[in-house]
């Protein structure tokens, strides 16, 4: 066996191992996304249902401590009422982006961004959920509304 052939065989082996590693990581990423996307979508729909019915206390009660620690139920209700006054109720939303983060403490955070159509305006909503087994709790909520419709 020549030296050139041995080097080609060695490089081919390296490339094969690298390709297998890429396939494995893509498979893992897809599995994580496939498992967490339905959780995020169901939680966003549940939030929107409660938001549309002004069930602000329920939103507060079901949220993670990371969402509620610096606000009272009344403060959250006031903030959500102000949002609802500006943009209205939710008509429809579509998932735009999802990211999964795991902390060194073993917590899993799901950040999902939605393009949401409200009765008075379109907006981008960003939810961060903390995962507990097969359920999630609201950890952070941001909404950036566009121009109001006339």
DSSP string for residues in 90-137: EEEEEEEEEEEEE-TTS-EEEEEEEEEEESSEEEEEEEEEEEETTEEE
Q: What's the predicted TM-score (pTM) here?
A: 0.77
| Residue 138 buriedness (CB in 10 A; 0-12 / 13-18 / 19+) | buried
Confidence of residue 146 (pLDDT cuts 50, 70, 90): confident
| Rounded CA separation 19/11 (Å) | 12
Under 8 Å between Cβ of 101 and 109: yes
The string of pLDDT tens digits covering residues 25-68 is: 444 444 445 568 899 999 999 999 999 999 999 999 999 999 99
Mean pLDDT of 117-124: 95
3-state secondary structure of 26: helix
Which one is predicted more confidently, 133 or 137?
137
| Rounded CA separation 15/33 (Å) | 27
């Amino acid at each position: 066996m020549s030296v050139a052939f041995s080097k080609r065989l060695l490089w081919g082996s390296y490339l094969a191992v690298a390709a297998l590693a890429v396939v494995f990581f893509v498979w893992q990423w897809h599995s994580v996304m496939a498992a967490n996307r339905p959780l995020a979508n169901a939680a966003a729909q549940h939030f929107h249902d409660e938001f549309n019915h002004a069930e602000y206390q329920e939103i507060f009660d079901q949220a993670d401590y990371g969402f509620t620690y610096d606000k009272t139920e009344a403060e959250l209700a006031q903030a959500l009422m102000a949002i609802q006054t500006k943009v209205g109720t939710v008509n429809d939303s579509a998932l735009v982006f999802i990211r999964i983060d795991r902390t060194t403490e073993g917590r899993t955070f799901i950040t999902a961004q939605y393009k949401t159509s409200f009765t008075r305006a379109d907006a981008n909503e960003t939810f961060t959920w903390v995962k507990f087994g097969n359920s999630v709790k609201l950890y952070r909520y941001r909404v950036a509304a566009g121009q109001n419709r006339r």
